[in-house]
């Protein structure tokens, strides 16, 4: 009788433990799902709370640390995010996305030391997945920022090999080529960008800069005109167009562009200075200097 009672008791304990364990797993998944929903709704702090509760229930789930890290990163809390990515990688050393996102967080810190470390993370992500386009892209951006333009170009080359429609790769390859003084090649990349996306404003602006460097001033003005057509508040296009027009002896038109820059951003110091130079070129030197000095009081 005693053995039978003991057997029933052990059975009850086993069933109870199973229910508790199963309940914990369900709770963990519930918190994870809630966290994902809140993340997609932009409720990042609440998403972090849910992922934290899921981690408390199961501290061995690498994906949950990764999800919490992404949420923290979105809030600009990169140092905290990196710690979560560290944990995710500790739990799963083959977690490709964790390496990639940790690299992005390190890059976002904006310091050279972290940029170098970020490249190592992108390297690892690519080692684990040689088709990881975003890892090539971010590695290219980091290399360009570090002055390693030739290496950056190699990464952008790989991207367009994997995906010939990846507009950002053509654009950034153009930037790297321009940084190296290879303006004709840069223009070809910007041409490809606007072919793929006729609304890609930065490509028109950068192409205008490259054309101006090559002495193609009228073509440059057309590119700046296009930028302004697409976005009438794009300050840099007015400023750049003003420079080209002034160099062509069209100082009155240049002044109008600098006026527009100052209207859009009254703190744009270079626009005041360039406007003074244009007015001086028209023989209005006294007016130009007086106006400039009044601004700098």
Model confidence pLDDT, tens digit, residues 193-227: 999 999 999 999 999 999 999 999 999 999 999 99
Over residues 164-176, the mean pLDDT reads: 98
Rounded Cα gap, residues 171 and 177, in angstroms: 10
Q: Are 93 and 80 in contact (CB under 8 A)?
A: no
- The DSSP secondary structure of the chain, one letter per residue, reads -HHHHHHHHHHHHHHHHHHHHHHHHHHHHHHHHHHHHHHHTT-HHHHHHHHHHHHHH-TT-HHHHHHHHHHHHHTT-HHHHHHHHHHHHHH-TT-HHHHHHHHHHHHHTT-HHHHHHHHHHHHHHHHH-TT-HHHHHHHHHHHHHTT-HHHHHHHHHHHHHH-TT-HHHHHHHHHHHHHTT-HHHHHHHHHHHHHH-TT-HHHHHHHHHHHHHTT-HHHHHHHHHHHHHH-TT-HHHHHHHHHHHHHTT-HHHHHHHHHHHHHH-TT-HHHHHHHHHHHHHTT-HHHHHHHHHHHT-
- Supply the pLDDT for residue 165: 98
Q: Give backbone dihedrals phi and psi of 232, rounded to 5 degrees, phi first.
A: -70, -5
Six-digit token pair at 258? Answer: 């600098």
pLDDT at 149: 98
Please tell me the predicted confidence (pLDDT) of residue 297: 65
Q: What distance in Å separates the CA atoms of residue 105 and residue 101, rounded to the nearest whole number? A: 6
Q: Tens of pLDDT along 74-121?
A: 999 999 999 999 999 999 999 999 999 999 999 999 989 999 999 999
Q: Would you state the pLDDT for residue 294? A: 72
Residue 296 has pLDDT above 80, yes or no: no
Amino acid 16: pLDDT: 39
Q: Nearest to residue 180, comparing CAs of 151, 219, 217? A: 151
Contact 31, 57 (CB under 8 A): yes
| Residues 253-280: tens digit of each pLDDT | 999 999 999 999 999 999 999 999 999 8
- Model confidence band, residue 2 (pLDDT cutoffs 50, 70, 90): very low
Question: Model's pTM, two decimal places?
Answer: 0.84
pLDDT at site 88? 97
For tokens 């809030």, the residue is: 75
User: What is residue 4's predicted lDDT score, i.e. its pLDDT?
Assistant: 44
Residue 281: per-residue pLDDT? 86
Domains of the chain and any CATH numbers: 232-297 (1.25.40.10)
Q: What does the pLDDT look like over 16-70, one tens digit per residue?
A: 333 344 444 458 899 999 999 999 999 999 999 999 999 999 999 999 999 999 9
pLDDT at 8 over 50: no
Confidence of residue 11 (pLDDT cuts 50, 70, 90): very low
Positive/negative CA dihedral, 24, 25, 29, 30: negative
Q: Is the pLDDT of residue 14 over 70?
A: no
């Amino acid at each position: 009788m005693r053995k039978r009672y003991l057997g029933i008791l052990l059975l009850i304990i086993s069933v109870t433990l199973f229910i508790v364990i199963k309940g914990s797993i369900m709770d963990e998944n519930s918190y994870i799902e809630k966290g994902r929903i809140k993340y997609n709704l932009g409720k990042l702090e609440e998403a972090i709370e849910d992922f934290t509760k899921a981690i408390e229930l199961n501290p061995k789930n690498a994906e949950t640390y990764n999800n919490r890290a992404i949420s923290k990163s979105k809030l600009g809390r990169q140092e905290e995010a990196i710690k979560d990515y560290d944990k995710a990688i500790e739990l799963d050393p083959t977690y490709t996305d964790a390496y990639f996102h940790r690299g992005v967080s390190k890059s976002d810190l904006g310091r050279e030391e972290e940029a170098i470390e970020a490249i190592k993370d992108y390297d690892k992500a690519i080692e684990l997945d040689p088709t990881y386009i975003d890892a090539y892209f971010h590695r290219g951006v980091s290399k360009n920022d570090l002055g390693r333009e030739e290496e950056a170009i190699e990464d952008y080359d790989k991207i367009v090999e994997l995906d010939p429609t990846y507009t950002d790769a053509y654009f950034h390859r153009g930037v790297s080529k321009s940084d190296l003084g290879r303006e004709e090649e840069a223009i070809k990349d910007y041409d490809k960008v606007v072919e793929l996306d006729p609304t890609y404003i930065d490509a028109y602006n950068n192409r205008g800069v490259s054309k101006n460097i090559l002495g193609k001033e009228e073509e440059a003005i057309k590119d700046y005109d296009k930028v302004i057509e697409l976005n009438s508040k794009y300050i840099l296009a007015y400023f750049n167009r003003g420079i080209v027009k002034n160099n062509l002896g069209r100082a009155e038109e240049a002044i109008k562009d600098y006026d527009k820059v100052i209207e859009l951003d009254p703190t744009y110091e270079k626009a005041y200075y360039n406007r003074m130079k244009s007015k001086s070129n028209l023989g209005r030197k006294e007016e130009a200097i007086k106006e400039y000095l009044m601004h700098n009081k």
